Chains A and B, each alone.
Chain A
């Protein structure tokens, strides 16, 4: 019996030791993430419209379009990176994909990137969305409508 008690006490001590080690690990600070290529780039503005200027920014803002309009979305970014991928995913009503496109840019400061879509035989009337992502991460969703 005495031997059992000693073994039990030893077992408890070992368990306590393991517990402490876990607590120590939990208290350890995680290393800071290494800087990534696009760490310095962020989307600061997304705008929809019917036209863009030479600076690629929307010159005629709109959220309602006609069936024959070309629909533009301009994405303003800040920061620099040797490579950053902006993507636009356009969807209709219940999520039907209208178009997806992306541009890989090398921004060196404030930049504007535009995406546009058109449909020769006219857009079906209804509600649409465009989702903008930067390096695969969703940054903004804008809704618009097409009126027949």
Chain B
């Protein structure tokens, strides 16, 4: 069998496969989409094991140096910015303009 014959057979095999090109798909969740829970939307964040304010700032703003914004917005629950606990929920202020 020549290479062109083989190509023809492969093409026919592909033709025989079911056509799923018009399948419609979707989904939803009880959880908030992660994209909406970013800093720009002014949301909340639940502290995970191993987090620090710097790490949270890095994760949400892409800049760890903005940790003070989170600290300032949550002074009522953060007594010492070096000590935060897993499970604590912080308000995350909107991302600073131009950063």
Task: Name the residue on A nearest B87 (C-beta).
Answer: A80
Interface residue count for B (Cβ, 8 Å)? 26
CB-contact partner of A39 in B18, B24, B33, B48, under 8 A: B48
CB-contact partner of B37 in A106, A116, A126, under 8 A: A106
Contacts of B18 in A (CB 8 A): 92-93, 96, 124, 126
In contact, B45 and A82 (Cβ under 8 angstroms): yes
Q: A37-B48, A37-B59 are in contact. Are A117 and B23 (CB under 8 A)?
A: yes
- Number of interchain pairs (Cβ within 8 Å): 101
In contact, B20 and A98 (Cβ under 8 angstroms): yes
A49 vs B80: C-alpha distance when bound (angstroms): 49
In contact, B50 and A118 (Cβ under 8 angstroms): no
In contact, A88 and B48 (Cβ under 8 angstroms): no
Chain A positions 47 through 69: 1 when the CB is less than 8 Å from some CB of chain B, otherwise 0:
00000000110000000000000
Interface residue count for A (Cβ, 8 Å)? 42
CB-contact partner of A35 in B22, B45, B50, under 8 A: B50
In contact, B30 and A111 (Cβ under 8 angstroms): yes
Q: A35-B49, A40-B49, A116-B27 are in contact. Are A84 and B34 (CB under 8 A)?
A: yes
A6 vs B44: C-alpha distance when bound (angstroms): 72
